[in-house]
Amino acid sequence: MHTWPDIRAKIDAGDLPAVTSMLVELPRPERRAVAKELPGRLKEMRAAAVLSDEVTRPLLVAGAGTIGGAAEAAAWLCRTDLRLGWDANRYADLCSAICAVTADRPAKWRGDVASRVARRLVVGDQAGRTPQLWHIAAALTLAAEAAPPVSDGFVVGWLADDVHPMTLAEDPFLDALVPRLFSAIGVGAALARDAGRGEQGMAQEGAQYTWAGSLAALARAGRLDPAALLDGCLSRFLLGGTAHTLRWFVRLHDALEPTDEEVAARVRDYVRLLPAAPPNVADLALRAIRRADDMGRLDEALFEEAAGALLFRPEKKLVRATLIWLDRTAGKRERVDATLRAVTAVFDSDAIETQERAAKIAAKHMGKAGKQVRAEVLSAAAPLPPDLLEPITATSAPSDTGAKEGRRDTSSESAPDDDAAFGGSGLSAASRTRGASGGVSLSDGPPPFRPRELPPPIGSPAEMAEEFPGRGARTWADTERFLAALVELSFRDFAGTTEALGRIVQETAPGLTQAAESRYHDDTDGVALAVRALFVVRRPRWFHSALASFRRSRSRARGRSSHPPIHQFLAWRMQEAASLVGKVPVLLATATSASGHVDPGVLVDRIGRYEEAGADPGAADLLQALLRVPREIDPAAVARAQGLGSKAGRAVASWLAGGGLADPAVECEIVKESVVRRHGRDVHPPNGVLSVVATGGDAPSDVSRLCDLPLDTSWKDLPYYHGPTAWWPPTLPSHREVVAAHLLPYAAGSTDDAWAGQAPILWGEELPVVAVAEADGPAGAATGALLAYALASPRPEQRANAVDALLVLSGRGHLPAAEFGDAFGRLTALRRVKLTRIVKGLGDAADAGAHADIWTAIAAALPHVLPEADGPTPSGVHDLIALGTRTARASEARAAIPALEAVAGRGGTSRLVKEAARLHRTLTTP
């Protein structure tokens, strides 16, 4: 009979087959004895830092085979310290072994374990354990012949597994999980790549190589219910989502090829999709509604609902298609009145083409409308330009053939323009609202700025243990809050703090308690560094390198800096904070506001605690505290600081009395050439942006090291970077222009144009533009250029943040609107950004009330983006001018722009000339 020492030896050796065979042969009573030993052995192996993948697999199998309760066995299999790496090949052996050692268990027990493990699966889990847990749950489910789990995580794990779409018919989970595809969270994102393949796969014989194609084929073969799949798609559309997350469901819907009868039976659901669905779903719904309409299955109420929803959408392609549909069916379906009521909704459109099309439709059908509708149309058309209003007025009398309201129109039903003109990019109008008169209603101004609040400090070791974030994502405020508590509580009660944190750290991040020094660490992960300092007395070698790295960064003889200066300062500060755990009463620099500022009175109190304890603060902590002093300092705090007697106290007193750091000189220039001549020498602006910061000779040397740009005299030395830029604004919260200048060269390399591929970029990071907006200090050319790059980002999340930043700055009266417009105008002219993205964000900001600032920005940009008479027109210029007209009217701007006047005077019927002429009239008409 095998004993625990025998099994432990095989576990330690990583011998999975031996452990499996031993457990299979082991009677159940002896297995319980092994189960009691496993937690202790796991703890010993963690402490010795020998918990490798090789020993983790037999540990998992040993727990599955010996632990008696289903809940306890599932908990063992789901332990975070028993994760394997991302190698799917090892799952087969592991799962086979788990099934072997649990084969003598009842099927109900194995199914229960599988269900409990499946419930622990988290959609989007980045910790590396989801594939492992999914394979274990799937294997136990099949071995027990149990009903498959249907949790979101299990469904998404099934999609992420190596299931080939061509083998779906034989997949054991098909029937149970297909219905959950339409309600489980994360399915659309998991199948986004399949949707992309569908664009090619659907056109080939191998449509079954995609999930959508395979499911549709199974429906045609009778293996799956096509009606259930179609209803599933519609229910998923109605749940909402983005174009990305719904893209696969659109592919599946089209692959199902619903019949006319199937579409007509569901036309009400298609109409319900129109107001809020993303463009790809709305386009699908419009096609389906038109099919139902062709069959005469769209009643008047549904028609009015559909038309009203479509004409209010921001996508010009959908609006144009809708207008063509309305025009062509007004007479056929005897709904002239309903059509005319609908088209008046776009008489005030920002797009002149849409406005013209709607006016032509109104003029064409006015004579066939009822008296009341004609009056409504004339009232709505009153604000139209004379050239569009006159044809409507001329045809407003009832025609001889259409005296009866709604009578069939027998005239030609061609569209005002060709069907081929369906394309076009849309100016955002998602946020606008229509008043009772049908006009666009804009807010009186941007929303007022409301500073965010920080959560209260952590007050006890128990609360700190609950807040321990492990190795997950953390904001700078979360990190500083935890660090402040750890330093203060460990100084007050080191043993109690260690005990409170010990258990949670062992469970979630056991490596932080191990004496062995890891080769891999994040030198700005303050939580990990400080917690490790709490448990490990001997400091790693890299604890001592941060200050030296920061101070030598500008004096090295050769080579490239590995990190920007703000990052090097953060690394010094975080590693210094770790070295202070248990030794000082408080951290001086912990922010008291969400912008990163430290209240001067609080800072004086903290220095007083140091003097009472006879301790000295860390140099980086003191420097950060000084840099976080707000621009307006309470005189009472200045007076109290004069009574401080320590060296650090005198430094604080002097700093407060002097008003803090004087604004460094910041220069920012977007340049065309890769080499420019400045200050008598050739310089190489990284990513086409010349960004210069100079603190002056009176600034402390460490402040200059932190703030000054360039890093060397040639501007060549810009490190690649993937660090936490969200920390940069709260590092200098009173000097947003300095932060913007440091971010700008990286922002310039983060666009998706050809220039970006030639220089360092900000790897995987969002620009912290909202934090820059919430900071204080001058906002000039650097801030404006940073906003321009953020608003042109390829990432939708970054563009949304840029709009928020615009509104914060506008609401505070701090937006450098002219500099911002000049920047995106120059960048557009140099073809470094996509103007269409910028216009979309500008429209959103204007709709939120920032129309005066947006007009100022557009006015500054127009001279750069308006084309020469024989030059190409940048994409998005038409929409920019249209938005300019709207914002100029809203802000009552009256000042001619020579470049605009020149374009308006060219004559012709191009949209460029029409839009320019309309804006010029707005600016020059009293």
pLDDT tens digit sequence for 161-195 = 767 777 888 999 999 999 999 999 989 988 887 86
Based on the domain organization, do 601 and 710 belong to the same domain? no
Do 593 and 694 sit in the same domain of this protein? Answer: no
For residues 154 and 10, state if they share a domain.
yes
CA distance between the termini of the chain = 102
Number of domains in the chain: 4
d(CA 282, CA 273): 7
Residue 533 sits in which domain range? 461-657
CA distance 606 to 480: 16
d(CA 567, CA 570): 5
The residue out of 602, 625, 657 marking a domain boundary is 657
Q: Among residues 409, 413, 341, which one has the least CA distance to residue 381?
A: 341
- Looking at residue 753, its pLDDT comes to 53
Q: How many CB atoms lie within 10 A of CB 14?
A: 16
Same domain, 114 and 16: yes
The count of residues in the chain is 926
Which residue ranges in the chain fall short of pLDDT 50? 88, 126-129, 200-206, 401-442, 517-520, 540, 543, 554-560, 754-761, 763-764
Same domain, 738 and 814: yes
Q: What is the pLDDT of residue 265?
A: 97
Q: Do 635 and 684 belong to one domain?
A: no
Residue 170: inside a domain: no
Question: CB of 374 within 8 A of CB of 383?
Answer: no
| Residue 502 maps to a domain | yes
Instruction: Return all residues near 213 (Cβ < 8 A) that are at least 6 apart.
Output: 165, 198, 201, 202, 206, 207, 255
Residue 248 lies in a domain: no
Residue finishing a domain among 139, 162, 185: 162
pLDDT at 796: 87
Please enumerate in sequence order all residues whose Cβ is within 8 A of that of 873, keeping only pairs 6 or more positions apart, or say none: 867, 912
Helix (H) or strand (E) holding 635: helix 635-641
* Claim to verify: residue 474 and residue 581 sit in the same structural domain: yes
One domain for residues 687 and 741: yes
Same domain membership, residue 577 and residue 524? yes
CA gap 440, 417 in Å, rounded: 26
Residues 720 and 860 in one domain: yes
Please give the pLDDT value at position 564: 86
Beta bridge partner(s), residue 683: 676
d(CA 878, CA 80): 55
- In-domain check, residue 773: yes
Residues 514 and 617 in one domain: yes
Tokens coding 578: 């770790």
What residue has token string 């070698």? 541
- Confirm whether 177 is domain-assigned: no
Which pLDDT value is given to residue 114?
A: 97
Q: Tell me the three state secondary structure of residue 460.
A: coil
User: Beta-strand (E) ranges in 153-230?
Assistant: none
Which of 637, 657, 677 corresponds to the end of one domain?
657
State the residue for tokens 């830092």: 49
Output the CA angle 465-471-475, nearest 5 degrees.
Answer: 85
* Same domain membership, residue 526 and residue 492: yes
Considering the domain boundaries, does residue 869 fall inside one?
A: yes
The pLDDT assigned to 515 comes to 62
Q: Is residue 110 part of a domain?
A: yes
Tokens representing residue 131 in the block = 């594939």
Q: Looking at residue 402, what is its pLDDT?
A: 47
Whether 910 maps to a domain, the answer reads yes
The reported pLDDT for the residue numbered 870 is 85
DSSP assignment string, 377-432: HHHHHTTS-HHHHHHHHHT-SPPGGG-STTPPP-S----SS-GGG---PPPP-TT-
Name, in order, each residue with C-beta under 8 angstroms of 33's C-beta and a sequence gap of 6 or more. Answer: 4
pTM for this entry: 0.69
